[in-house]
Amino acid sequence: MRKPPPEPAPTVDPRGEAAHDGLEPRPSKTRLKRQMHELQRLGGELVALSPAQLRRIELPELLREQIEAARQINSREALRRQLQYIGRLMRNADADSIRVQLAARSGARPGTQPVAQPAGPGPGRRAGAAR
């Protein structure tokens, strides 16, 4: 009679921890991208604050410096890249605390977004022009 084959070794994830089939699955790429876009949007809100308002919000020093740098940028593409970098820095910051502080400043509840009003015709369009 033959011996049964040995059990396979447990898989190990990049952090060196054993992966178990019954644990939480890895978030989808779409979910990760949504989270990153949300952090970029939050970073954009911080850039739009006045210097006095920004001083009242607790932020890591590097994040604060990069927000200040974003205010000096005139190029649309450079600002887009800077906002991406700010979003990346915000992964290490306490985004929930920042949201709460922004909501307290604006009087809104955390996690809710104000309803955006249409700002007239878009760039390059005349009022009443057909699309």
What's the confidence (pLDDT) of residue 7?
72
60-67, Cβ contacts within 8 angstroms, sequence gap of 24 or more: 60/89, 60/92, 60/93, 62/89, 63/89, 63/90, 63/93, 67/43
Q: Which residues contact 2 (CB under 8 A, 6 or more apart)?
A: none
What integer pLDDT is reported at residue 23 of this predicted model?
A: 74
For residue 28, pLDDT over 60 is answered with yes
Convert the pLDDT of each residue in 74-123 to its tens digit: 999 999 999 999 999 999 889 999 999 988 887 655 555 544 444 445 45
Helix, strand, coil percentages for the chain (3-state, nearest 5): 50, 0, 50
25 pLDDT tier (thresholds 50, 70, 90): confident
Distance CA 37, CA 81 (A): 12
| Predicted confidence (pLDDT) at residue 43 exceeds the cutoff of 60 | yes
For the chain, which domains are there? 30-106 (1.10.60.30)
Neighbours of 14 (CB within 10 A): 5
